Structure 1
Amino acid sequence: MSEPIIKLIDITKTFGEGEAAFQALKGVNMAINEGDFVAIMGASGSGKSTMMNIVGCLDVQTTGSYFFKGVPIESLNVDQRALLRRRYLGFVFQGFNLLPRTSALENVELPLLYRGESPAQRRKLALAALDSVGLVPWADHTPNELSGGQQQRVAIARAIVTEPTVLLADEPTGNLDSERSVEIMELLTQFNKERGITIIMVTHESELAAFAHKIVVFKDGLVERVEQH
């Protein structure tokens, strides 16, 4: 059995100090294998978003160990963590986070710009990513010319254009109706199956969590239970 791609050991996270201190995570243990599709569930304040920020190297734990591909993340400096994010991680958020006056194609090109790819290579890879979400005809449209579902497809194309090992999706269907939500979930399932991208998704919706192989339920800063599908 190969080593998990993500391994969390006794992870805690405390915000604030002294009497104002709040412990968002109280000793989380979790392992995620390459190719998994994991849904993270739990009430507001259960710690799931804090955990996602740590896994995404957007924040660091207070105590405990986080291993990514066997590397202890706490041993990396800020620049090294940024490099890990750029090379291995893709992000999809509830609010799409697209640049408003920029075309769909240019939005998708953005991570490649940070990687220093040439303009021709950026365009080629971005068009391929838009093609994979069915949006090449809308490549020149700005976000306000697209529906919510189309905007989230652009956001997914931007997340997968760098061919990440892990895709982190935080409430990716939160702003969409049920029909568009299912379309987005089918798209994520396709990338998981066909490209082997490991997906970790935060959701409140049990119908959407049902697309995952594994459901991890958080409660009061701890993993309450894990359900295999």
Structure 2
Amino acid sequence: MIRLRGVTKTYGEGDIAFQALKGVDLDVRAGEFVAIMGPSGSGKSTAMNLLGCLDTPTSGSYLFDGIPVERLDRDARARLRRRHLGFVFQGFNLLPRTSALENVELPLLYRGEPAAQRHAAARAALAQVGLAGWETHTPAELSGGQQQRVAIARAIVTQPTVLLADEPTGNLDTARSQEIMALLDALNRDHGITVLMVTHELEMAAHARRIVHFRDGKVERDEVTATTVDHLTAIAGAA
């Protein structure tokens, strides 16, 4: 589904130019759960911006389901985001005086969908993340874990093929973090949503099937996690 080849990203020009990515190759198959890790300045956030079609590479190629993203203009990239991508951020990014239902409806409002369809889809997305009955509550009336669930509902209400999660547990305690990771696991496993997640926490990254480590603008290593090893071992044993 996703293929990066020789991707570079440079900010600025001349003596002040900074190369954030230095020839990145990466493949992500449909239905995978991939964690992206690396120290600050390693290029992982820049890579996520490119994968989310929020930016374009300076050089190299990015194919999304066969579409050459680097050749798309701003409007075409926006259409691709609306149709295929969902985003979850560390800071939740919810409208503070707006109900959970209205927050989840926002992507559908931008699409111009009728009110009845928006309401129904938003209610279904909230139920999917375990928040049925919380539709009228504002963010101030919700815990941090519940706010992140609303953010995830907003991300999946458009039925994306790829969910990009940037430090989704960064503002949560351990118990709430595990709840959110269990939810991402379920979305990946039961609904086939491809998940790409940036995280600093190995415990959270262990939920992924692969961990891609960035350092100094390059992919340092790409490893299969114990989760995948256990899964493949179980399949082999059953056979």
Q: Which amino acid aligns with 1:149?
A: G
SS of alignment partner, residue 154 of structure 1: helix
Identity value in percent: 69
Q: Does 1:10 align with 2:6?
A: yes
Deviation at 1:89, TM superposition (A): 0.1
SS of alignment partner, residue 54 of structure 2: coil
SS of alignment partner, residue 149 of structure 2: helix
Deviation at 1:127, TM superposition (A): 0.2
Q: Does 1:124 align with 2:158?
A: no
Question: Structure 2 unaligned runs (5+)?
Answer: 226-239
Q: Does 1:96 align with 2:92?
A: yes
Tell me the equivalent position of 2:138.
Answer: 142
Deviation at 1:115, TM superposition (A): 1.2
Q: Does 1:53 align with 2:53?
A: no
SS of alignment partner, residue 138 of structure 1: coil
Deviation at 1:134, TM superposition (A): 1.0
Tell me the equivalent position of 1:37.
Answer: 33
Q: Aligned partners of 1:17, 1:77: CA distance in 2, in Å?
A: 22
Q: Aligned partners of 1:20, 1:82: CA distance in 2, in Å?
A: 30
Q: Does 1:159 align with 2:145?
A: no
Q: Which amino acid aligns with 1:57?
A: C
Tell which deviates more after alignment, 136-145 or 96-105: 136-145
Q: Which amino acid aligns with 2:5?
A: I
SS of alignment partner, residue 133 of structure 2: helix
Q: Which amino acid aligns with 2:209?
A: H
Q: Deviations over 1:66-119 (max 9, x none)?
A: 000011001211111000000000000000000111000000000011111110
Which of 188, 199, 210 aligns to 2:184? It is: 188
Which of 48, 59, 65 aligns to 1:63? It is: 59
SS of alignment partner, residue 30 of structure 1: strand
- Detail structure 1 runs of 4+ shifted over 4 Å in the superposition: none
Q: Does 1:20 align with 2:16?
A: yes
What's the TM-score once normalised by structure 1's chain length?
0.97
Please report the RMSD computed on the Cα atoms of aligned residues, expressed in angstroms: 0.5
What's the TM-score once normalised by structure 2's chain length?
0.93
SS of alignment partner, residue 114 of structure 1: helix
Q: Deviations over 1:190-227 (max 9, x none)?
A: 00011100000000000000000000000000000001
Q: Does 1:198 align with 2:211?
A: no
Q: Aligned partners of 2:188, 2:222: CA distance in 1, in Å?
A: 20
Question: Structure 1 unaligned runs (5+)?
Answer: none
Tell me the equivalent position of 2:70.
Answer: 74
Q: Which amino acid aligns with 2:56?
A: V
